[in-house]
Amino acid sequence: MRKGAFIVFEGIDGSGKSSCMDEVASALLRERIKVIKTSEPTKGEIGAILRTSGNRTPEAEALLFTADRAVHTCEIVKWVESGKTVLCDRYYASTIAYQSASLNGRSADADWLTAINDEVIIEPDMTLLFDIDPELSMGRVESRGRRSRFERPEYLREVRNNYLRIAKLRNFKVIDASRPKEEVLEDVLRRVREITG
């Protein structure tokens, strides 16, 4: 059986990656491509811990996100090997970008984050980075009426810069997410089809 593909959607909160991923999934399903939508933090047991607000350091948080990913990666490998196209909302770049940004005045080391993640990941066939100015994305998040502890503009500026640095190193496709949503979708679909055919 032909192997599937693994495509990751990354970006700061409010960048539009999740709704774009839903639209891409629908478009591929219409073309009879077998799609699995998944996300991190996962709905599994470690993902559930991550959704609670505990007294954690950035390092502890990084280890939890990475542990969640280690389990998730096993599932992703199985899906891809059974011919599915896996669309994943966030993967290892989220940990490197977010946990190495200073949260509450502390940050985890980017080299360490990269090293622990490299042990548990598979390199996606494509990672799309939805790049947007946090001022703009924050407006979107606020209009949805929710704001997590990760959603402070000065923090997100650092996260954005980290993302752009990783994107260069790992060859991500940087998508200008400040454009109208239809334009972004068209751009993303064109790139996804380079892989799904």
Partners of residue 118 on adjacent β-strands: none
CA distance 82 to 1: 7
CA distance 5 to 179: 27
Cα 52 to chain centroid, rounded: 20
Residue 52 CB, shortest distance to ligand TYD, in Å, is 12
> Interface mask (CB under 6 A) for ligand TYD, residues 80-119, using x and -?
---------xx---xx--xx--------------------
Number of residues near ligand TYD (by CB under 6 A): 12
Residue 197 CB, shortest distance to ligand TYD, in Å, is 28
> Interface mask (CB under 6 A) for ligand TYD, residues 27-66, using x and -?
-------------xx-----------------------x-
The runs of H, that is alpha helices, within the chain are 17-30, 45-50, 58-81, 92-99, 110-118, 134-143, 153-170, 181-196
Which residue in 19, 148, 161, 171 binds ligand TYD (CB under 6 A)? 148
User: 33 vs 177, which CB is nearer to ligand TYD?
Assistant: 177
Which residue in 4, 5, 8, 13 binds ligand TYD (CB under 6 A)? 13
φ, ψ for residue 131, nearest 5 deg: -95, 130
